[in-house]
Structure 1
């Protein structure tokens, strides 16, 4: 057993098998929700000529190119799902490799088998956590998983001192999704308390300066770009920066609870915006400050703790800090953010010799049981994506006080020809938010449409 765990190929095979077992049942899912706005109804995701024409003024060109490749292959939704599964598998393997490298740096004195077991545990939890389903099973979640793939490739190239490859992967990540701009901060973290390549301080500063220049240049271009400019203005008009910071404390709490299994995955969480301090927000801010202080206090003896905390914060800076977004939080924001904390947990377990006898007799079965539970939870969540009706049924059960899920459930029923169920869902959306124009318009269209016969459970 030790030989299996210590072999990089065998450990990779275990991770690959786990990913396939967790997500094979998701391949038959249909297009959902934003898929239609992201690629199904987008000409630039259908033909190379349209993509090329869109290149000069479109958003996220490499993301659209990945959709275009799947569209042209002609396998329909299963082809898109298969690509998402492959991207997630590649990310899980890169997390495994990063964990092995980090643990070797942090705990050189630890037994190699202990480090390998800890690295495999971190990779398996990343691969199997049900929170990842939004970035894997939900096709439009590819924006996050594909961006993460490019960022992890850039990190590994940087650690191997392949600077051109790292720079190219970084530019690709920016062309997939804009939050990839955090890479220079992650590199600073690697330099500060991770397995950075050896170099003099002046050399480190110079190479980091190059990576900081990339988002500055691309960011300047984006500000001059009409679509990005409109996107930024719309975002800033969502809520004030102050209110957004307060609201994001609740969003961070949601993500932490989701990571710990205290919340079930939800494609449309019901989080209220905050405009003033409350006891719950104050408690959350204090806990966040205490966690930061504790990690900083242990930075010399346990550098993986500050690494875990800082990675989590850095990964969420674009989505959960000053820049307002229409949705306060999405499950897929945990995809990249979870990697650092998982490496920190793995390192702490290895430092405490949890994977060595006699503790291993208890810890290893517990870790195996956790991975099985996560796998089953992921498969259960995948079942919610089997149809639009199933997805929005699960969502209104998790967010019964939010109007949009009820409207989306009504629209799913309407497309399926279930007029009575659609009417009830629209009426519930309007009962929650009487000013919700989309639900009102959908209800009007439904009343004017001819009745259809359909089997509606």
Structure 2
């Protein structure tokens, strides 16, 4: 009997009904990430949200929307401000709600593709409990990636529904239109979503019985929409052109390609190395280019070799490379090893690992180890969320991971000063100055910390006057 037809009572770890499975997934999200709600606004949140007048609406918002740069993201911040004011906990609660919705979308997508309730539940749980997601879930400025990912998943769900067997043409057209609307919303949260046609091509290519003609028919409209959207963003989005110019100033395309070849395997390895996670990572050395390129080539060869025997493995290996291709090939980045872009890249691996874990758990005596695994992942996520909720701890960790980063030491000093740890802040800002003495922001912070220390120092007492003899 196929695994998907087994009674629910005979499948280890599987809730008896779909509503129970959804509730269980939401409970996992809350248990894993609730600790992050204790945090607030920090570093990039200040210019992106708190100090941006558009967050409060009004004329500043209208000017920002006219620029055309990530309007859905900006409107989400405005909605949060209307609900919470400038309370960082409220903004983080919205991020957690978006993550929970994304987990449910992964679950529904997996139910359709894997045709196995246990594998679908485990795929969604593995997506929910990835510790690297802290940079999106527990960081208010991670919102752009979270919104984009949810939009891409909704687009893929509508696409799958449109091409179900037996669906009449009129209803198919409706769901295709819904898929394009969700795609447009994803792009309006973050322009990296323009990679959707490439993801869709991969999604269709590993479907049983796929042919080049069928793939071309199903991807045609999204591809056309992506080209049109890219042209509009470039023509009318001055902010996008500014970012492109900034990227070219950092490194030329060939140099960026070499550095990404070294950095991308290190970024992907963070999925399996939660102890190495950090808000700041050191840039890879030039010696890492060849090993990195060989590692990426190995992933490609393995994906092609498994294409017929286990197509889900091909999806798991190629999805991250496709998702990261726009920002991790020819475009230079300030940070080469990153965590936030790993959020949507984890969808494909989560589906493949969910199917693999379901096969393993169906053997006798595997339910308890499975529960232990989920509990361990949830505890690791809670640890990462708690770290992000404490800026001083977050940036202390960053200076341990990247001790030569002046930015990490600068932000550590800022967090320590805000926490009232003046002696620690002075030591941290001294390290930042030693690494980059000419940075204006670091000089200004050093002066502010020094003045604050002088203001708090006790005034020297005057000698008491001796009575006249």
- TM-score, with length taken from structure 1: 0.88
Greater shift, 182-191 or 47-56, is seen at 47-56
Specify which of 305, 309, 323 is matched with residue 317 of structure 2.
Answer: 309
Instruction: Output aligned runs, 1:160-179, within 5 Å.
Output: 160-161=161-162, 162-179=175-192
Specify which of 380, 393, 397 is matched with residue 396 of structure 2.
Answer: 393
Over 3 Å counting, the alpha-carbon distance change for 1:338 and 1:28 in structure 2 is: same
Over 3 Å counting, the alpha-carbon distance change for 1:186 and 1:98 in structure 2 is: same
8 Å Cα contact 1:419/1:451 also seen in 2: no
Per-residue CA shift, 1:366-402, capped at 9, x if unaligned? 3322211111111112222333223212222222221
Partner of 2:5: none
Secondary structure of the residue aligned to 1:5 is coil
Return 5+ residue gaps in structure 1 as ranges.
105-114
Greater shift, 411-420 or 178-187, is seen at 411-420
Question: Partners in 1 of 2:247 and 2:123 — Cα distance?
Answer: 35
Partner of 1:241: 253
* Post-superposition offset of 1:82: 1.1
* Post-superposition offset of 1:32: 1.2
Instruction: Output aligned runs, 1:337-416, within 5 Å.
Output: 337-350=345-358, 353-358=359-364, 361-362=365-366, 364-416=367-419
* Post-superposition offset of 1:64: 0.7
Specify which of 96, 100, 118 is matched with residue 89 of structure 1.
Answer: 100
Specify which of 255, 280, 285 is matched with residue 293 of structure 2.
Answer: 285
Instruction: Output aligned runs, 1:256-275, within 5 Å.
Output: 256-261=268-273, 263-272=275-284, 274=286
* Post-superposition offset of 1:423: 2.1
Secondary structure of the residue aligned to 1:268 is coil
Q: Does 1:9 align with 2:19?
A: yes
8 Å Cα contact 2:267/2:339 also seen in 1: yes
8 Å Cα contact 1:159/1:195 also seen in 2: no
Number of equivalences: 433
Over 3 Å counting, the alpha-carbon distance change for 1:68 and 1:425 in structure 2 is: same
8 Å Cα contact 2:33/2:382 also seen in 1: yes
Over 3 Å counting, the alpha-carbon distance change for 1:66 and 1:291 in structure 2 is: same
Per-residue CA shift, 1:276-310, capped at 9, x if unaligned? xx2x4323322322222122122112111211122
Greater shift, 214-223 or 24-33, is seen at 214-223
Return 5+ residue gaps in structure 2 as ranges.
1-8, 163-174, 458-469
Instruction: Tell me the C-alpha RMSD between the 2 structures.
Output: 2.3
8 Å Cα contact 1:248/1:320 also seen in 2: yes
Question: Partners in 1 of 2:208 and 2:147 — Cα distance?
Answer: 24
Question: Partners in 2 of 1:12 and 1:256 — Cα distance?
Answer: 28
Partner of 2:131: 130
Instruction: Output aligned runs, 1:202-217, within 5 Å.
Output: 204-217=215-228
Partner of 2:77: 67
Partner of 1:325: 333
Q: Which has the larger radius of gyration?
A: 2
Per-residue CA shift, 1:106-149, capped at 9, x if unaligned? xxxxxxxxx32222222112111211111001111111111100
- TM-score, with length taken from structure 2: 0.86
Question: Partners in 2 of 1:292 and 1:408 — Cα distance?
Answer: 38
Partner of 1:57: 67
Over 3 Å counting, the alpha-carbon distance change for 1:286 and 1:450 in structure 2 is: closer
8 Å Cα contact 1:117/1:355 also seen in 2: no
Per-residue CA shift, 1:182-241, capped at 9, x if unaligned? 111111112211379x9x965753452221122222222222332221111011111122
Question: Partners in 2 of 1:442 and 1:320 — Cα distance?
Answer: 33
